[in-house]
Amino acid sequence: MTRILAVCADDFGLAPGISAGIAKLAHAQRLTAISCITNSPHFEASAALLNDLPASVDVGLHLNFTEGRPLSARLARRWPTLPSMPRLIAQAHLRRLPISQVRNEVHAQLAAFNRALGRPPAFIDGHQHVHHLPGLRRIMLDMVEHVQPIPAVRNTGRLLGPGFGFKRWVIERTGGRALAVELVQRVIAHNPALLGAYDFVDADYRSRMRGWLAELPAEGGLLFCHPGSHVDGDPADGIRAARERELAYLGSAAFDEDLTAAQVTLGRVWRTVLPQALNGRSRPG
């Protein structure tokens, strides 16, 4: 039976080479979604690469609170540079985020998306999955409900392997499972499952993909990836080699062969689930 896989390239706008590589894949219909970092100084100049995309490709907002500088003056006064991921996770779970300023930044990043593309995002997620963290999660979901049409949201509550069980566990337990409950409570469209977690070191990306395709459930899932190229003047990038490997594979005949062998086709997997499906689980705080 054919299963559906959505493939989302994260980090568009982070650097010119990354954006160019992602756009190339999208225009060739090798992706189903692109997620944009709008607080990057490179985003606005790269936005034109998203003109005339195939109708099969969604473009969304990749909320960023761990890299670079804030867009909003209010948060910039508190955090001139955005915190590291461990620090952000700790502050979120200790309920020490500057909530008012964080809310201002979330809306500033959405406004930058709207200005550059002339339309609201089709979906919202987070750089390093920040959108599911306590405090930030509630701000993001409240904002989503006031966007028309209501965007889908990346569900990080069910990460499938193979491998990297601890990394998947951390993503689910730092806010992914709580987000999954809220998406159902609020009847917001989301992906049934998430795939794509690995260490960016493994040079055999094709083998990784084959593993994810084997784990894809019957109801489908979304795979997040980080393809990109490099051009002179791009900022330093700790996963540059992994981006180039992903770009090469996703644009190759090998990707088609692996999809066919696994009886998987590319497409959208956003869906809503009625609150009765929670089976009595309470709304998270």
The string of pLDDT tens digits covering residues 127-174 is 999 999 999 999 999 999 999 999 999 999 999 999 999 999 999 999
Stretch 25-36: mean pLDDT, rounded?
Answer: 98
Please answer whether residues 132 and 181 qualify as being in contact, where contact means their C-beta atoms are separated by less than 8 angstroms.
no
For residues 191 and 48, give the distance between their C-alpha atoms in angstroms, rounded to a whole number: 27
For residues 188 and 183, give the distance between their C-alpha atoms in angstroms, rounded to a whole number: 5
Write out the two tokens for 167. Answer: 């990394």
Residue 120 has pLDDT above 70, yes or no: yes
Task: Please give the domain boundaries of the chain with CATH numbers for all domains.
Answer: 3-278 (3.20.20.370)
Residue from 150, 208, 153 nearest 176 by CA: 153
Residues in the chain: 285
Instruction: State the CB neighbour count (10 A cutoff) for residue 117.
Output: 17
Q: Which pLDDT does position 197 carry in this prediction?
A: 97
Q: Which pLDDT does position 262 carry in this prediction?
A: 98
For residues 159 and 171, give the distance between their C-alpha atoms in angstroms, rounded to a whole number: 8
Percent above pLDDT 70 for the chain: 97
The string of pLDDT tens digits covering residues 179-207 is 999 999 999 999 999 999 999 999 999 99
The string of pLDDT tens digits covering residues 238-278 is 999 999 999 999 999 999 999 999 999 999 999 999 887 66
The residue with tokens 């190759």 is 252
- ∠ CA(90), CA(94), CA(285), 5° rounding? 115
Residue 38 has pLDDT above 60, yes or no: yes
Please answer whether residues 105 and 151 qualify as being in contact, where contact means their C-beta atoms are separated by less than 8 angstroms.
no
Amino acid identity, position 38: T
Q: Which pLDDT does position 274 carry in this prediction?
A: 85
Amino acid identity, position 4: I
Q: Which pLDDT does position 71 carry in this prediction?
A: 98
Stretch 102-121: mean pLDDT, rounded?
Answer: 98
pTM for the predicted model, two decimal places: 0.95
H helix runs in 72-204, sequence order: 73-78, 85-93, 99-117, 136-144, 165-171, 177-185
Residue from 47, 44, 42 nearest 34 by CA: 47
In this structure, what DSSP letter does residue 237 have? -
